[in-house]
Amino acid sequence: MAGLKLENVCKRYGAVQVIENLSLDVAEGEFVVFLGPSGCGKTSLLRMVAGLEEVSGGRILIGERDVTVAPPGQRNLAMVFQHYALYPHMSVRENLAFGLKNIGIPADEIARRITESARMLELDSLLDRKPGQLSGGQRQRVAIGRAVVKEPGIFLFDEPLSNLDAALRGRTRLELAQLHQRLGATMVFVTHDQIEAMTLATRIVVMKGGAIEQVATPAELYRRPATRFVASFIGTPGMGFVPVQRAADEQGRAVVTVPGGAAVTTRVSADGLPAQGLVLGVRPENLRVAEVGPLRGRVELVEFLGERTLAHLKLEGDSPLIVTVPAGVSPELGSHVAVSVDVAEAHLFDESGRAHHAQEALS
């Protein structure tokens, strides 16, 4: 087991700068997820860690060892790819053993590692089958097992669940979380799926345009996003945004006016808050269709999701907003409804996209 350190890492493809001066520390035993939209640089970063891409600048350290220019085989890593890349003519046992034989591991040690990994991943009954006789989830477990038998310092995962159907993704996600608990290994996982990130990670690295937007635990990212991008990217659906005007201060808190002219006294400190260009950000579960509320909007769509119902509204000024519908309430399409706001969970974002969070108590 080893930690990972990135120091001012850069990646260029010709004149195109993909990643610039990115630094990050991953502690031993962490499960860190690189999360972001397509093209944000997360896979390029993982491939540089693996030694599959050259580093244009900066350093990569595994443990205390500088591996910036070391070949992949000398980095003590194991990588699980999006595509299983299993040898179709070999059995599961032979697939698991192949890499170990190539580096001269003794036969009895190979057998021990295969037995342990097969038990851990519930592959015992599949060892003599070939990949064509396995389901997609079983093939993915074999690909993970091939990494486990290497007993690496760090596991790297490049969107390993993206080829699975929704139900299988859920089961395999649980298996990965349990594997991390059993091994206590350092794992770095790349995905664009925020549900995978939120359920697997001890910390999430949210990326945008080759840079880090925020590094935090899943709970902190959800409750206290550092930027408007993080707030919109994390959550299903993401946070809703309403343009507001700074109206006054009340006991150190900012008072803003929303579309329609109603005033909302936030719990955001007025200290250092800009006067112009503010946006109120609130998640759907903290907005609720109510008899009275500072916001009003026209119902465009109602979604019944089983455990909750959401209404898609169009506010005055045409701002879209998704809000929670209480049990027993059935707003009609085209009707106008009031929306209450839980100000304890409301944030303000300035023109640069930086978040200003609600505070529990302000002096």
Instruction: Please give the residue range of the domain that contains residue 288.
Output: 237-356
Residues 316-334 pLDDT 10s: 888 899 999 988 788 899 9
Residue 42 scores a pLDDT above 60:
yes
β-bridge pairing 186-191 and 154-158: parallel
Same structural domain for residues 92 and 194?
A: yes
Does residue 112 fall inside a structural domain?
A: yes
Do both 226 and 261 map to the same domain? Answer: no
CATH number for the domain that contains residue 11 = 3.40.50.300
**How much is the average pLDDT of 216-243?**
95
Asked if 74 and 221 sit in the same domain, the reply is yes
Which pLDDT score is estimated for 179? 85
Strands (E), 174-262: 186-191, 203-208, 211-216, 240-250, 253-257
Section 223-245 average pLDDT:
94
**Order of strands, edge to edge, in the sheet holding 347-349?**
263-269, 253-257, 240-250, 278-282, 347-349, 355-356
My answer on whether 22 and 80 are in the same domain is yes
Q: What percent of the chain has pLDDT over 90?
A: 67
**% of the chain surpassing 70 pLDDT:** 99
Closest CA to 229 of 241, 245, 242: 241
Nearest C-alpha neighbor of 32 from the set 20, 22, 40, 24:
24
pLDDT digits (tens, 9 = 90+) for 241-250: 999 999 888 8
Query: Do 166 and 259 belong together in one domain?
Result: no
Q: Distance between CA atoms of 205 and 217, rounded to whole angstroms? A: 9
Q: Domain for residue 361, yes or no?
A: no
> In this structure, what are the phi and psi dihedrals at residue 146, rounded to the nearest 5 degrees?
-65, -30
Last residue of a domain, one of 231, 246, 273: 231
pTM value?
0.89
- Give the separation between CA 58 and CA 8, rounded to whole angstroms: 5
Please indicate, yes or no, if residue 362 is contained in any of the structural domains: no
CA distances from 245 to 148, 294, 297 (A): 55, 14, 18
Residues 46, 188: one domain? Answer: yes
Both 167 and 302 in one domain: the answer is no
Are residues 77 and 190 both part of a single domain?
yes
Is the pLDDT at 361 greater than 50? The verdict is: no
249-302 residue pLDDT tens: 888 999 999 998 999 999 999 988 998 899 999 999 999 999 999 999 999 999
> Do 60 and 175 fall into the same domain?
yes
163 in the same domain as 96:
yes
In a domain, 128, yes or no: yes
Q: Which of 202, 231, 260 is the last residue of a domain?
A: 231
pLDDT at 2: 85
Residue 300 sits in the same domain as residue 224: no
Residue 87, pLDDT > 60, answer yes
Mean pLDDT (the chain, rounded): 91
Domain boundary among 231, 259, 292: 231
How many domains in the chain?
2
In-domain check, residue 299:
yes
In a domain, 118, yes or no: yes
One domain for residues 225 and 247: no
Residue with tokens 């595994």: 62
158 located within any domain = yes
- Give me the CATH number covering residue 321: 2.40.50.140
Look at residue 260 and tell me if it is in a domain.
yes
Is the Cβ–Cβ distance between 281 and 239 less than 8 Å?
yes
- Given a contact cutoff of 8 angstroms between Cβ atoms, the answer to whether 135 and 141 are in contact is no
